Chain A
């Protein structure tokens, strides 16, 4: 069997490969090593990132290339932008995507716009890795999925991997990209294992992946919700409904063709996105298909999203907030007008 590693290890391996290959790749973030300037640690790390994703990198590459920053997001995200524009290729870790409010200007008005505003005479080759997603019992300020905010902003690329394999290949492509990339890592996926080849490979941004082929219905799912879609698809398959699961992998650029080709085959579309429903990736993909694929459709487009509420803390409420396979199967039954598939 091919080698299996976790999502977290896949992300780390991508950074390690990039750092070995290119001395201009540096890491910046809060406690990505941890324990900076603590004498008794010598050069050891205290944390290696709050979730341990960057563990070992400070040891291998030294603290000049793995920079613990103060809790000062505007300063170090902005510094990453200009370090990128001058000659480095920084990877900045924004611990939780919810903290973007502290540094949005540096991302939205500086990083995203320098290349265009300067008439192409600057590049901002930075990758901002950030954690997102509900299901970790971390409540409203540490559970959001804010990728739609950045998809809205030109000049930024937005990547949301769902598997360890995709995480490694997409992160390596993101680091090599000459535009700012925001790379969303779902915190509940870090321990997920999957096949990941050793060594370097890249997955081009803007290339969706058909995670499962099927002729009856297309489900476009984002990030962790790819797994919800797969789970629902397995159950539906036993009831004679074959779902095609499309993982866009990046929301910007968005692989429109793969989505439209799939809808051309199935004539039905569901989008699963755990983020809030308004002005979201789900509405965006739905609008795309309504605009460019209306004739392909035999049924209304359906979206399965979180409700328009903050993410709640109580496990009971948070579970209710998230999409799940039962919700998917219910929507599928409505779409194909067959309630019998609801029966176990």
Chain B
């Protein structure tokens, strides 16, 4: 386990553009979902990914459509980074027939298997065994595909964390375990709930490499993920990456976040904002200029509004759909 340092290198322009666009898509999508929820226009409950964009994007930058990810209840960011369409995502959140899951999954179960997005998951720690299974398929069928298992700091105290990483390690499965340590499992601080100082420390118990990165730093995540994904692809087994990050919103929408200190929150929203930091990096490194990024901002804003319109204008499923996609014999 080591604390990763950002390496001095340059991203290709097209890669940088993709990463910037995906990060902005996540931010704007989540900010609008926040608005829609506050306005009472969305059913159910939602867990927003805003603030953690650098993790999903920095990792998924190394994946293609044959690769898979398992996700969490905070899954919108993973979906977007793995290439899910905004229209279908938004429609799913509205419970519409045009949603990615025909309105049957909702925010917590949003998935697009054709894109290798094996589902957000309503169960904390639910993804570890699933990631092993997807990676087992890749290993047995020798597809060369990698599976990334995103999980939060809450999940690192679930039994499946131990079982899943152990299984991936003994079978040398092509999995990358990505901890999104945002400091709070629901309303409980990480240091209270976990006996370890770092999630990454636990990797030693499974004899797999691990690294801690600043999860707000897109490049740091990108570098760590590159190494881990390549290692998995070479058949050298799993890696655990702990990304230190922060969620801009509460655990769920409506959470008053009384457990967060005001100064901490301000600091994360301003000085340590992942997208602002990435913008600075791209400018300093002369990869993209202000107007190119502003253009992307503009396009994404329009795309998100279009997605909302698409979702609102889409039909609800018919009552008959209750009985499809499952055998019903009673």
Q: In the complex, what residue of chain A is closest to B70 when comparing beta carbons?
A: A82
**Chain A residues whose C-beta falls within 8 Å of the C-beta of B134 in the assembled complex:** 82-83, 85-86
Interface pair B164/A85, CB less than 8 Å apart: no
Interface pair B113/A72, CB less than 8 Å apart: no
Q: In the complex, what residue of chain A is closest to B145 when comparing beta carbons?
A: A86
**Chain A residues whose C-beta falls within 8 Å of the C-beta of B330 in the assembled complex:** 252-254, 256
Which residues of A213-265 have CB atoms within 8 Å of chain B's CB atoms? 252-254, 256
Interface pair A76/B140, CB less than 8 Å apart: no
Say yes or no for A74: interface residue by CB 8 A criterion. yes
Binds A, one of B35-43, B119-127, B270-278, B291-299: B119-127
Interface pair B133/A74, CB less than 8 Å apart: no
Interface pair A79/B113, CB less than 8 Å apart: no
Interface pair B130/A121, CB less than 8 Å apart: no
**Chain A residues whose C-beta falls within 8 Å of the C-beta of B235 in the assembled complex:** none
**Contact A115 to B129, CB < 8 A, known contacts A75-B167, A83-B134, A105-B123:** no
Say yes or no for B100: interface residue by CB 8 A criterion. yes
- Assembly CA distance A206 to B330 (angstroms): 11
Q: Chain B nearest CB: distance from A100 CB in Å?
A: 14
Say yes or no for B137: interface residue by CB 8 A criterion. yes
**Contact A82 to B101, CB < 8 A, known contacts A74-B160, A109-B126:** no
Say yes or no for B181: interface residue by CB 8 A criterion. no
- Assembly CA distance A81 to B132 (angstroms): 10
Interface pair B109/A118, CB less than 8 Å apart: yes
Say yes or no for A210: interface residue by CB 8 A criterion. no
Interface pair A77/B129, CB less than 8 Å apart: yes
Say yes or no for B12: interface residue by CB 8 A criterion. no
Say yes or no for B258: interface residue by CB 8 A criterion. no
How many A residues have CB within 8 A of the partner chain?
46
**Chain A residues whose C-beta falls within 8 Å of the C-beta of B129 in the assembled complex:** 74-79, 81-82, 106, 110
Say yes or no for B300: interface residue by CB 8 A criterion. no
Say yes or no for A343: interface residue by CB 8 A criterion. no
How many B residues have CB within 8 A of the partner chain?
47
Say yes or no for B324: interface residue by CB 8 A criterion. yes
Interface pair B122/A154, CB less than 8 Å apart: no
- Assembly CA distance A118 to B114 (angstroms): 11
Interface pair A206/B166, CB less than 8 Å apart: no
Interface pair A79/B167, CB less than 8 Å apart: yes
- Assembly CA distance A256 to B102 (angstroms): 31
Which residues of A75-124 have CB atoms within 8 Å of chain B's CB atoms? 75-88, 90, 105-106, 109-110, 113-122
Q: Chain B nearest CB: distance from A163 CB in Å?
A: 23
Q: In the complex, what residue of chain B is closest to A77 when comparing beta carbons?
A: B129
The 8 A CB mask of B136-165 against A (1 = contact, 0 = none) is 111011000000000000000001100110
Q: Chain A nearest CB: distance from B311 CB in Å?
A: 15
Which residues of B207-258 have CB atoms within 8 Å of chain A's CB atoms? none
Say yes or no for A64: interface residue by CB 8 A criterion. yes
**Chain A residues whose C-beta falls within 8 Å of the C-beta of B104 in the assembled complex:** 116-119
Interface pair A70/B136, CB less than 8 Å apart: no
Q: How many A-B residue pairs have CB under 8 A?
A: 153
Interface pair B133/A254, CB less than 8 Å apart: no
**Chain B residues whose C-beta falls within 8 Å of the C-beta of A67 in the assembled complex:** 171
Interface pair A119/B103, CB less than 8 Å apart: yes
Say yes or no for B200: interface residue by CB 8 A criterion. no
- Assembly CA distance A105 to B130 (angstroms): 12
Say yes or no for A131: interface residue by CB 8 A criterion. no
Interface pair A114/B324, CB less than 8 Å apart: no
- Assembly CA distance A125 to B99 (angstroms): 24
Say yes or no for A26: interface residue by CB 8 A criterion. yes
Say yes or no for A187: interface residue by CB 8 A criterion. no
- Assembly CA distance A65 to B136 (angstroms): 11
**Chain B residues whose C-beta falls within 8 Å of the C-beta of A105 in the assembled complex:** 123, 126, 160
Interface pair B159/A155, CB less than 8 Å apart: no
**Contact A74 to B159, CB < 8 A, known contacts A114-B119, A253-B329:** yes
Say yes or no for A179: interface residue by CB 8 A criterion. yes
**Contact A118 to B68, CB < 8 A, known contacts A75-B160, A179-B327:** no
Interface pair A116/B166, CB less than 8 Å apart: no
**Contact A119 to B132, CB < 8 A, known contacts A87-B141, A105-B123, A155-B326:** no
- Assembly CA distance A85 to B330 (angstroms): 25
Say yes or no for A157: interface residue by CB 8 A criterion. yes
Q: In the complex, what residue of chain B is closest to A126 when comparing beta carbons?
A: B133
Say yes or no for B105: interface residue by CB 8 A criterion. yes
**Chain A residues whose C-beta falls within 8 Å of the C-beta of B166 in the assembled complex:** 70, 72, 75
Interface pair A117/B163, CB less than 8 Å apart: no
Q: Chain B nearest CB: distance from A282 CB in Å?
A: 16
**Chain B residues whose C-beta falls within 8 Å of the C-beta of A157 in the assembled complex:** 327
Q: Chain B nearest CB: distance from A269 CB in Å?
A: 18
Interface pair A82/B132, CB less than 8 Å apart: yes
Interface pair A84/B119, CB less than 8 Å apart: no
Which residues of A42-87 have CB atoms within 8 Å of chain B's CB atoms? 64-65, 67, 69-70, 72, 74-87
- Assembly CA distance A196 to B112 (angstroms): 43
**Chain B residues whose C-beta falls within 8 Å of the C-beta of A86 in the assembled complex:** 68, 118, 133-134, 137-138
Q: Chain B nearest CB: distance from A341 CB in Å?
A: 35
- Assembly CA distance A254 to B327 (angstroms): 12
Q: In the complex, what residue of chain B is closest to A155 when comparing beta carbons?
A: B326
Interface pair A79/B102, CB less than 8 Å apart: no
**Chain A residues whose C-beta falls within 8 Å of the C-beta of B122 in the assembled complex:** 109
Chain B residues within CB distance 8 Å of chain A: 68, 70, 99-105, 109, 111-114, 118-119, 121-123, 126, 128-134, 136-138, 140-141, 159-160, 163-164, 166-167, 170-171, 324-330
Chain A residues within CB distance 8 Å of chain B: 26, 64-65, 67, 69-70, 72, 74-88, 90, 105-106, 109-110, 113-122, 154-155, 157, 179, 206, 252-254, 256
10 pairs of A and B residues whose beta carbons are closest in the complex: A78-B129, A82-B133, A119-B102, A253-B329, A75-B163, A120-B325, A79-B133, A119-B101, A82-B130, A83-B133
Other A-B pairs, 12, CB within 8 Å; known A26-B140, A179-B327: A69-B167, A70-B163, A78-B164, A81-B129, A82-B130, A82-B134, A85-B133, A88-B141, A117-B111, A122-B111, A253-B327, A256-B330
Ordered by A's residue number, 10 sampled pairs between the chains whose C-beta atoms are within 8 Å are A74-B160, A74-B163, A78-B132, A83-B133, A88-B141, A109-B122, A115-B325, A116-B325, A117-B119, A119-B104
